[in-house]
């Protein structure tokens, strides 16, 4: 996370210029928000809907931001919550079995067989493990930030990540044992 972006947002926000603070926040992190959303809802259009809803919530909540975390962390938490809500509504509406995409359906997803297998494995994980794995492995976020994002302890997260990584590795190797080198990364 570029600190200069956080500083720009904070400067505008602390002087009450919420328009500028919001604009800086979106300009700096829109792609990160999209990646987070599309990995959860697995569909480009759905991710765009999620971002629109999240955007409205962020804009309304920005003046009440408490400053207890980075702006990016706070906003990512809003995007994750909005994505999960969207997913639950979709599952309720379509039935649990309807959401079975293995990998994100997005024009920005540059797929290959290993990535497909990786996403397929990740999307089979329980929700908490899935989010932990995505934020840690894909985004390389520190455990402390993931704990802040998901509202859980660092110790619990590390255990979650360990279990998730084991399951992912097992799934990928079951699909194709030649992936053993890649799965060690």
Among 14, 52, 153, 180, binds other proteins (CB under 8 A): 52
- The binding track of 113-132 with respect to other proteins, each residue x by CB under 8 A or -, is --x---x-------------
Footprint of other proteins on 56-85 (CB under 8 A): 56, 58-59
Among 9, 12, 21, 38, binds other proteins (CB under 8 A): 38
Query: What's the rounded Cα separation, in Å, for the pair 129 and 127?
Result: 6
Query: What's the rounded Cα separation, in Å, for the pair 17 and 103?
Result: 39
- Of the listed pieces 8-16, 101-109, 142-150, 160-168, which binds other proteins according to CB under 8 A? 101-109
Toward other proteins, which CB reaches closer, 20 or 156? 20
Size of the site for other proteins (CB under 8 A): 35
Among 8, 9, 21, 22, binds other proteins (CB under 8 A): 22
Query: What's the rounded Cα separation, in Å, for the pair 91 and 71?
Result: 30
Q: Is the alpha carbon torsion for 67, 69, 71, 77 positive or negative?
A: negative
Q: Decide if residue 33 touches other proteins (CB under 8 A).
A: yes
Classify burial at 50, counting beta carbons within 10 Å of its beta carbon; exposed 0-12, middle 13-18, buried 19 or more.
Answer: buried
Q: Decide if residue 110 touches other proteins (CB under 8 A).
A: yes
Dihedral of the alpha carbons of 33, 38, 40, 41, in degrees to the nearest 10: 130
Dihedral of the alpha carbons of 17, 149, 122, 161, in degrees to the nearest 10: 150
- Stated as kind and residue range, the H or E segment containing 90 is helix 71-94
Binding site for other proteins (CB under 8 A): 22-23, 26-27, 30-31, 33-35, 38-39, 48, 51-56, 58-59, 103-104, 106-112, 115, 119, 134, 137-138, 140
């Amino acid at each position: 996370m570029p600190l200069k972006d956080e500083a720009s947002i904070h400067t505008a926000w602390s002087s009450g210029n919420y328009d500028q603070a919001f604009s800086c926040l979106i300009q700096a992190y829109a792609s990160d928000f999209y990646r987070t959303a599309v990995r959860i809802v697995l569909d480009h259009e759905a991710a765009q809907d999620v971002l629109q809803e999240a955007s409205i919530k962020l804009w309304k909540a920005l003046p009440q931001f408490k400053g207890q975390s980075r702006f990016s962390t706070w906003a990512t938490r809003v995007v994750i919550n909005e994505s999960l809500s969207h997913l639950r509504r979709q599952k309720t509406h379509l039935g649990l079995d309807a959401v079975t995409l293995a990998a994100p359906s997005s024009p920005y997803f540059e797929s290959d067989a290993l990535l497909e297998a990786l996403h397929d494995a990740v999307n089979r994980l329980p929700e908490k493990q899935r989010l932990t794995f995505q934020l840690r492995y894909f985004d390389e976020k520190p455990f402390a930030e993931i704990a802040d994002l998901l509202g859980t302890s660092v110790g619990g997260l590390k255990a979650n990540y360990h279990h998730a990584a084991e399951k992912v590795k097992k799934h990928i190797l079951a699909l194709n044992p030649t992936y053993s080198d890649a799965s060690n990364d």
